C-alpha cells in the first residue's frame, strides 16, 4: 500500500533519527544511500490518479511531487537496475499516453493537468524504453500503438526545431536539461542549436532504432539510424570549437542575414557528447582537461555544473532566476545559482563514467567517492537528498524538501564504473565517434 503524505513524513523522520543514532562512518556512505533510496520508493511511486492512468514515479518526496519526464525515467531506471521494472514501465506509459498524434509530449504531468505545456517532453523516452526492454528481454509492451507514439515524439523535434546547421533547437533554455544553464542561454525562443539536446537525440534515435528492429519495423529502424548518424556528423562539424577544445551550443539569430555565433560558456551541458561516448578520443581528452582542472569544473566535492573561471559562477542558495528576464548581452548577470556552479548527482554520475571511458580511471573513482560522500552527508543532516549542493562547501542548496530522480542512480555508480560499455549504453549501437 502506498503511504499517505503524513505517513511519508513520519517515515522520513524515523529514517533520519534511526540513521543518526547509528553514527555511521564515512565508509558506510554507499550503504546509507542505498538504504535510503530503497526506503523512499513507496513514497515516490504514486498510484494512478486523474489524467495519469498508470502509477508513476514522482520527481521528489516533498519537492516536485509530480511526474516530470526525465526525472521519472532516471528514477525508474534505478529501480529497474534493482530488478523491479514496474515503476519505469508505468512512468513511460504515462508519458506516451500524453503524447499527442503530432508527437508533442508533456514535460510535467499532474493528476489535474500539465505543469509546463509550452515545452516538449525532453529526450529520454526512447532511452528509458530501450533500457527497460533490454533488461526485461521484451519489447512487447510497446505494441498496440505505444511505439508509434514514441516514434512521433522523436520526429516532432525535426518538424518544429531544426536549425540552420540541421541540428535541433530548444524552444527555451528552461525546456532543457539545465533550466538556467548559461551554455544554452539566449534572449529569444527557438534559436539555440544545443549540444546537450543533439547528443541526447543521437542517443534517442539509436535507442529507437534498436526497439524498432526488435519490433520488426525495419523501415523505422533504418530511419532512426539515419537520423542519429546525421545529427552526430553535424554536431561534430558545427558545435566543436577546435581552438578552445570544447563543444559550444550555437545561437541562431532570427534575422536570416545575421550570422550564427557559438555561446562560449564552459558548462556541463556541453559535455554530453563525452558522457555518451560520442566524442572522438582526441576531442574528449581535450574537453576533459577542463573537467579535471580546479580552475574550471573540478572541486573538492565533485564536478561543478559551470566552470569556476566564468565570472558568473556562483553557489547562491535557491538563487534560480528565469533566464528570459535578462536582455542580451547581460544574460545571467545577476546571482542565479542552480546550474551556474553547484554540483548535482547527475552531472557527477555522468562525469565519472566519461572520465572512466576515456582512461582517467583514478579521477573517475575520486568523483564517485566525492559525490557519494556529499549525498550521504545530506542524509545525515537533512534526512533527504537535496537537488544540488555548493561546490565549495557541499552545503545543500536547492529542493531541500527531498528529491528522488537521478539521485537514485548514485547507489549504482560504483558498479557501473566497473563495466564497459556502461550499463546505460550496453548493447546499443551508437554512431562511431570519429571527427569529421
Average pLDDT in the chain:
90
User: Under a CB-based contact definition with an 8 Å cutoff, are residues 83 and 135 in contact?
Assistant: no
Name beta bridge partners: 247. 240
For 332-365, write each residue's pLDDT tens digit. 445 557 899 999 999 999 999 999 999 999 999 9
Check the CA dihedral 292-293-294-295 and report its sign: negative
For 125-137, write each residue's pLDDT tens digit. 999 999 999 999 9
CATH topology of domain 43-416: Glycosyltransferase (1.50.10)
Return d(Cα 233, Cα 222) in angstroms, integer: 17
For 352-401, write each residue's pLDDT tens digit. 999 999 999 999 999 999 999 999 999 999 999 999 999 999 999 988 88
Run of H or E including 91: helix 86-97
Q: What is the DSSP code (8-state) at residue 52?
A: B
- Give pLDDT, residue 145: 96
pTM given for the model = 0.91
Run of H or E including 16: helix 5-22
Domain map of the chain by residue range? 43-416
Rounded to a whole number of angstroms, the distance between the first and last alpha carbons of the chain is 55
Residues 6+ apart with CB under 8 A from 313: 304, 306, 307, 340, 341
Q: What percent of the chain has pLDDT over 90?
A: 79
For 226-264, write each residue's pLDDT tens digit. 999 999 999 999 999 999 999 999 999 877 667 899 999
Strands, sheet with 67-68, edge to edge from the N-terminal-most edge strand: 67-68, 108-110, 113-114
- Long-range own/partner contacts, residues 329-337 (CB < 8 A, 24 or more apart): 331/182, 331/185, 331/186, 331/187, 332/180, 332/182, 332/185, 336/180, 336/312, 337/397, 337/398
310 against 326, higher pLDDT: 310
Return d(Cα 348, Cα 326) in angstroms, integer: 29
- Residue by residue, what is the 3-state secondary structure of 130-161? HHHHHHHCCCHHHCCCHHHHHHHHHHHHHHHC
Q: Residue 325: is its pLDDT beyond 80?
A: no
Alpha helices in 98-217, H assignment, sequence order? 125-136, 146-160, 195-214
For 67-95, write each residue's pLDDT tens digit. 999 999 999 999 999 999 999 999 999 99
Run of H or E including 57: strand 56-57
Residue with cell 558498479: 415
Q: Give the total residue count for the chain.
A: 436
Amino acid at each position: 500500500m502506498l503511504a499517505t503524505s503524513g505517513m511519508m513524513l513520519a517515515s522520513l523522520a524515523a529514517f533520519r533519527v534511526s540513521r543518526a543514532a547509528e553514527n555511521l562512518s564515512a565508509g558506510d556512505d554507499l550503504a546509507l544511500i542505498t538504504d535510503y533510496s530503497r526506503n523512499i520508493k513507496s513514497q515516490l511511486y504514486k498510484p494512478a490518479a486523474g489524467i495519469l492512468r498508470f502509477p508513476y514515479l514522482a520527481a521528489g518526496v516533498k519537492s516536485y511531487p509530480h511526474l516530470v519526464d526525465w526525472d521519472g525515467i532516471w528514477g525508474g531506471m534505478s529501480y529497474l537496475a534493482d530488478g523491479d521494472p514496474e515503476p519505469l514501465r508505468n512512468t513511460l506509459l504515462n508519458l506516451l499516453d500524453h503524447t499527442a498524434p503530432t508527437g508533442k509530449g508533456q514535460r510535467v504531468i499532474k493528476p489535474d493537468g500539465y505543469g509546463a505545456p509550452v515545452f516538449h517532453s525532453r529526450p529520454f523516452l526512447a532511452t528509458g524504453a530501450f533500457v527497460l526492454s533490454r533488461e526485461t528481454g521484451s519489447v512487447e509492451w510497446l505494441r498496440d500503438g505505444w511505439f508509434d507514439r514514441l516514434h512521433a515524439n522523436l520526429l516532432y523535434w525535426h518538424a518544429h526545431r531544426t536549425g540552420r546547421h540541421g541540428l535541433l533547437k530548444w524552444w527555451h533554455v528552461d525546456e532543457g536539461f539545465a533550466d538556467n544553464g548559461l551554455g544554452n542561454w539566449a534572449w529569444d525562443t527557438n534559436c539555440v542549436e544545443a549540444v546537450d539536446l543533439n547528443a541526447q537525440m543521437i542517443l534517442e534515435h539509436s535507442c529507437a532504432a534498436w526497439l524498432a528492429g526488435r519490433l520488426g519495423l525495419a523501415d523505422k529502424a533504418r530511419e532512426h539510424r539515419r537520423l542519429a548518424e546525421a545529427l552526430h556528423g553535424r554536431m561534430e562539424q558545427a558545435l566543436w570549437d577546435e581552438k578552445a577544445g570544447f563543444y559550444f551550443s550555437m545561437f541562431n539569430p532570427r534575422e536570416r542575414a545575421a550570422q550564427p555565433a557559438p555561446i562560449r560558456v564552459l558548462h556541463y551541458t556541453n559535455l554530453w557528447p563525452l558522457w555518451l561516448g560520442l566524442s572522438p578520443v582526441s576531442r574528449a581528452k581535450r574537453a576533459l582537461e577542463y573537467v579535471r582542472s580546479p580552475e574550471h569544473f573540478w572541486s573538492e566535492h565533485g564536478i561543478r555544473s559551470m566552470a569556476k573561471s566564468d565570472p558568473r559562477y556562483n553557489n547562491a542558495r535557491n538563487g534560480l532566476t528565469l533566464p528570459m528576464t535578462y536582455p542580451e548581452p547581460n544574460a545571467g548577470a545577476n546571482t542565479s545559482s542552480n546550474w551556474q556552479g553547484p554540483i548535482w548527482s547527475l552531472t557527477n554520475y555522468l562525469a565519472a563514467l566519461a572520465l572512466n571511458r576515456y582512461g582517467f580511471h583514478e579521477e573517475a573513482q575520486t568523483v564517485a567517492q566525492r559525490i557519494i560522500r556529499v549525498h550521504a552527508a545530506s542524509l545525515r543532516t537533512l534526512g533527504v537528498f537535496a537537488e544540488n549542493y555548493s561546490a565549495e562547501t557541499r552545503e545543500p542548496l536547492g529542493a531541500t524538501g527531498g528529491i528522488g530522480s537521478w539521485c537514485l542512480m548514485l547507489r549504482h555508480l560504483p558498479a557501473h564504473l566497473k563495466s564497459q560499455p556502461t550499463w546505460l549504453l550496453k548493447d546499443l549501437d551508437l554512431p562511431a565517434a570519429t571527427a569529421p
